[in-house]
Each structure stands twice: as C-alpha cells, then as structure tokens.
Amino acid sequence: MVKKPYFLFLSMIMFVLIMSGCSKNDPSTKPEDTKQDSLNEKVELTVSAAASLQDSLNEITTAFEDENPNVKINYNFGASGSLQQQIFQGAPVDLFFSAAEDKFDQLVEEGLIEKENEIDLLGNEIVLVVPKDSDKGITSFEDIGKAVKISIGTPESVPAGKYAKETLENLNIWKSIEGKMVFAKDVRQVLTYVETGNVDAGIVYKTDALVSSKVNIVATAEENTHAAIIYPVGIIKSSSHIKEAKLFYEYLQNKESKKTFEKYGFKGLN
C-alpha cells in the first residue's frame, strides 16, 4: 500500500514536469519569433549629401522605403565641404554623397570610408543662369561683366563655387568681376538669389537649374575650363547600421535609381 505523503510527492513531480513541457511548447517563446522581431526592427540611416542631390534623392528614397519598410532615410543636405568637416568631427553619419572628389577622398585617406564601400557614381555640368525676366543682355560667360551682382557658392566649401571660380579664371574673367561676387553657403542658395532677382546672374549645377522655372540657362561651361565634376558616394566605416547602409548604397546604383538621376540632369559614370 502506497503511503499518502509519498503519493502526494509523486503527484507534485508529475505536475512540474507537465508544466515544464507546456512551457517549452509555448509559441510565444519560439526562437523563430524572436528572429522575426529582429528582422522587423525599424532602422534609421543618416545620409549626408550635397545640396544639388536633394530632388533626385528624395524621389529615390520614396521608392526605397516602399520596398524596405523597416529602413528610414534621414538626410542632411548641404555643402560637401561642410558635411565632410562634420564627419571628420564625429557626426553620426551612415553614408556620404559628395559633389566633390577631393572632399570625399580625404575621408577615404583617413580611413573613415573604406575603398570597397565607395564609388564614383555621377557627373554634372556647370551653367550660367539669369532671372527669367532678365534684361541685362547676358547670354554667355563673356557677358557676365554686365551683371551688377553675381553669385557663386563659397569656393572653399562649396564644390560648385570652386568649379565656377576655376571656369571664370580659365576664361580670364575672374579678376574683373571678383568685386561683384555674392558668395553663398551652397548651390541652392545661389539659385534662390537668382530666382528672387537679388543678383543678376549665378553659376550653379545644371541639375539645380533644371528644377527651377524662375531662371534661364544661358551658357554651359566647357569641360576643359574646370576639373571633372564627379559625385562619389560611400559608407562611413563607423556606421552602426552597416547592413542597411550597404543595402541603400547598392540601391543607389541600380537601374531605376540611375534613370531617376538622369531625369534630373545627372550623368551616369557606371
């Protein structure tokens, strides 16, 4: 005959074993679900990009986020020189899309961008623009002296300004008009000055001029008057989201993205 206390002890052991088995089979603790939660985690990327890329990148990003709902792209648009300095100083950036090779290459040389994660992606052109209702008779770079005020980006920090100055120097015009210059923080500010009539002429990227209905392009700089205009893009080595950064980096190089860049006036290099 089994004693009652011993029977109660066996019953308790059986109960514990049964509950333990149920716990292991509980769907809420499946490793697959934990993995799925990780895949659905929202990731935000910060992309520092030249101001001239704003319109094309906004369109490309809409398509990218539709296809990759767990990744959100946040932009920091500005002059490439200023953006480069921010990255040098430790700004939390995942990708850098520059309008100038020299600014970009300094980050590569310092080891902040690895060579296997960077590419020269786009080309552009420099153009002379005037307000839509201009009556100054400016139809070429040689006519730019007719302007009372002329705007370009600050050459030291704005690549478009550097190319503009090079063009004017190579045409032997710079010295005669240097005193008329109104320097801007980026190419979009130059465009705004021209659109509002605050200056009589400005030199900007062709891509920026094409998106404005308030200016006329009167001349395009010859390629031999300035350094090649190349837009490199790369992943910042310290990015905390390398996998997602690489996903967007590769997306920028696909066929559809290239078509969008070309629609806004950029030239593909690859």
Q: Give, for all 270 residues of the chain, the pLDDT tens digit.
A: 444 454 454 455 555 444 455 444 444 444 444 334 444 689 999 999 999 999 999 999 999 999 999 999 999 999 899 999 999 999 999 999 999 899 899 999 999 999 999 999 999 999 999 999 999 999 999 999 999 999 999 999 999 999 999 999 999 999 999 999 999 999 999 999 999 999 999 999 999 999 899 999 999 999 999 999 999 999 999 999 999 999 999 999 999 999 999 999 999 986
Q: How many domains is the chain partitioned into structurally? A: 2
163 falls within a domain: yes
In 132-236, where does DSSP find H-type helix? 159-170, 174-177, 187-195, 206-210
179 falls within a domain: yes
What global pTM score does this model have? Answer: 0.77
Q: Which residue has the tokens 């040389």?
A: 109
Q: How many residues does the chain have?
A: 270
167 falls within a domain: yes
**Same-domain status, 148 and 71:** no
69 is in which domain, residue-wise? 42-123+229-268
**Same-domain status, 172 and 234:** no
**Binding site per annotation, positions:** 52, 80, 160, 187, 205
Instruction: Supply 200's token pair.
Output: 């009589």
24 falls within a domain: no
10 falls within a domain: no
2 falls within a domain: no
Give the count of alpha carbons within 13 A of 168, CB side only. Answer: 26
Element (H, E) at 55: helix 54-67
**Binding site per annotation, positions for molybdate:** 52, 80, 160, 187, 205
Q: At what angle do helices 187-195 and 159-170 cross, to 10 degrees?
A: 70
**Same-domain status, 111 and 233:** yes
Give CA angle at 97 (127, 238), nearest 5°. Answer: 160
Q: Which residue has the tokens 């801007």?
A: 184
33 falls within a domain: no
**Same-domain status, 187 and 213:** yes
C-alpha span between 160 and 151 (Å, rounded): 11
